[in-house]
Amino acid sequence: DQQVKQNSPSLSVQEGRISILNCDYTNSMFDYFLWYKKYPAEGPTFLISISSIKDKNEDGRFTVFLNKSAKHLSLHIVPSQPGDSAVYFCAAKGGGADGLTFGKGTHLIIQP
Amino acid sequence: DGGITQSPKYLFRKEGQNVTLSCEQNLNHDAMYWYRQDPGQGLRLIYYSQIVNDFQKGDIAEGYSVSREKKESFPLTVTSAQKNPTAFYLCASSRTGEWETQYFGPGTRLLVL
């Protein structure tokens, strides 16, 4: 049973526009959420995170929004750039587990 | 340069053979992790270690074994009991209490001959 779900396997966005990547979770014990970016044949790199006590965290072009009641978080990238083309993983921690629980990832493609 | 290295980049396993994937970090991190990624799947936790000489099973530990004799090293052995070993394996590390910022290695792709 997937506790962290990324329902869009891929997303295509025009350069300069906003990219919105979505993530849903089922475990109400999760208290920390992260986004990782992964290029082919490389390990994921940490992008941005948010604690469950917040509903928004911003870092440059990247903003993560958390809606606890809906068990939903989203990553906004604005403006989107060609270098943003990658697979983005949503991850969550909490509920007694020490590792991270990852979603399946969304392949973001930025078109010129 | 500090970082995590994984070797080899590609590894081939024959039926019934045990293979060991290397993971080394010079970041002075106490915690280390092994994840497995299958096509179209998220990363799944195999084993993790918070400190030398101690490790815990993750979500999919069956068919795998680890050791943590040194802080810098956390090798993963894929045993013959793992019936579906073909995957991309990622090692990560983090500072104690800073698990949210896990640094990942480049990964090892394991293929079965």
pLDDT digits (tens, 9 = 90+) for A77-92: 999 999 999 999 999 9
What pLDDT digit, counting tens, does each position of A34-79 carry? 999 988 877 888 899 999 999 999 999 999 999 999 999 999 999 9
Query: Does residue A41 belong to the interface with chain B, where contact is any CB pair within 8 Å?
Result: yes
Strands (E), chain A: 4-5, 10-14, 19-25, 30-38, 45-51, 56-59, 62-67, 72-77, 86-94, 101-102, 106-111
A104/B contact by beta carbon, under 8 A: yes
Contacts of B40 in chain A (CB under 8 A): 9, 104
Nearest-CB residue to B56 (from A43, A93, A98): A98
Distance CA B2, CA A68 (A): 37
pLDDT value, residue B14: 86
Q: Which pLDDT value is given to residue B29?
A: 93
A94: distance to nearest CA of chain B, Å? 11
Say if residues B56 and A98 touch (Cβ distance below 8 Å): yes
Taking the C-alpha atoms of residue B26 and residue B5, their distance in angstroms, rounded to an integer, is 9
Q: Which two structure tokens, joined as six digits, stand for A40?
A: 């082919």
> What are the structure tokens assigned to B89, written together?
């394996």
Q: Best interface-test mutation with A: which of B50, B91, B98, B102 has the largest number of A CBs within 10 A?
A: B102
Query: How far is residue B30 CA from its own chain's centroid?
Result: 15
Q: Sorting pLDDT into bands at 50, 70 and 90, what band is A96? A: low
The first and second tokens of residue B63, run together, are: 């068919």
